[in-house]
Amino acid sequence: MNRNLLVTGGAGFIGSNFVHYWAQNYPMDRIIVLDSLTYAGNKKNIQKLINTKKISFLKGDVSDKSLVLNAFVQNKINNVIHFAAESHVDRSIRGPDSFIQTNIIGTFNLVEVFRELYGKAISKNNWRFLHVSTDEVFGSLDLEENPFSEETRYDPSSPYSASKAASDHLVKAWGKTFDLPITITNCSNNYGPYHYPEKLIPLTILNIILGKNIPVYGNGMNIRDWLYVQDHCIALGKILLEGKSLETYCIGGNNEITNIEIVNTICDLLDEIAPKYDVKLPVIPSKKLIKFVEDRLGHDKRYAINSSKLKRELQWEPKVNFQDGIRKTIVWFLSNKEWWEDLI
């Protein structure tokens, strides 16, 4: 049975990768992307799919409930995958208002409209709501602590993670109260194509290409678990199609790496790869550009995810190790200058 799939935030980093993945693997499904095209939403990410009519695009904000309702009704939506979110911790510290509006109010609008229309549906077999969240809702891990799992208690440290924690609780409560077919995912740090250049990996890549300093918070020893975005998309697809209703799934990459290791790896690889793409780096070796800066407020020490539930129940595990994934990512940025040039 074909789906009418609403992808919120589908012009953003993870969302656009998912849209490409779904359009390629489920061409009979109808995909409607809803995105407000803030600074991190880029229609160029999905323009080819729009041009070939493989997807439809609707510009709009999830915090506008009447717009959300119209999008559902006009497109007969029965599946939702909710990526739309403000996601940068630094921005949430400087200005949390938009995080509350998008991440909490926007999520409420979506799950409430879904509830209203699901309740009126004659056939409910094909309805699903997948809420995509982050491991940051769990707070910080010490070096000796076990990785986050579906049983980890919430302990957000920033306005961003607090707003995402609130949205998780909203979706989970609506699912339980109204018996809705919802699932929630909490993923580790993603990287790959179409990554907006404010996050560590794309920022490091582009600063090296442009000869700018590479800022590293504190001593660079904060640890993150890195997940290649296409592995993430495969996991999300499995959860949307096969995940158990009212369940949460943690999605990790099995790649715990310190920030300074990430930066050093990118420096070494770009020094090696750039000449093959006729890119002359302004500073060689690139490590000369590393600059340690004052640490971020509330900077969590370590994130790590245990994905054993996802492996056990849905037979998913990440396929791309970090060395292969970061090389693919660097090559993508070297090969797509026209994509990032306008953004910077």
Residues 6+ apart with CB under 8 A from 191: 199, 201, 202, 226, 227, 228, 229, 325, 326, 329
* 267 to 5, 15, 130, 204, 229: CA distances (angstroms): 40, 28, 37, 8, 21
CA atoms within 13 A on the CB side of 292: 7
Does 136 qualify as catalytic in the annotation?
A: yes
Does 135 qualify as catalytic in the annotation?
A: yes
Q: Could you tell me if 144 and 304 are in contact, meaning their C-beta atoms sit under 8 angstroms apart? A: no
In the block, tokens 């109808």 appear at: 30
What is d(CA 222, CA 202) in angstroms, rounded to the nearest whole number? 18
What is d(CA 121, CA 228) in angstroms, rounded to the nearest whole number? 37
CA 76 to chain centre: 26
Closest to 250 measured CA to CA, from 157, 109, 339, 136: 136
**Which residue in 35, 61, 86, 136 is the catalytic one?**
136
What is d(CA 259, CA 254) in angstroms, rounded to the nearest whole number? 15
**Which residue in 35, 61, 86, 160 is the catalytic one?**
160
**Which residue in 35, 61, 86, 135 is the catalytic one?**
135
Does 150 qualify as catalytic in the annotation?
A: no
Cα-based angle 18, 20, 251 (whole degrees, multiple of 5): 20
Q: Using only C-alpha atoms, what is the Rg of the chain?
A: 20
Q: Which residues have a catalytic role annotated?
A: 135-136, 160
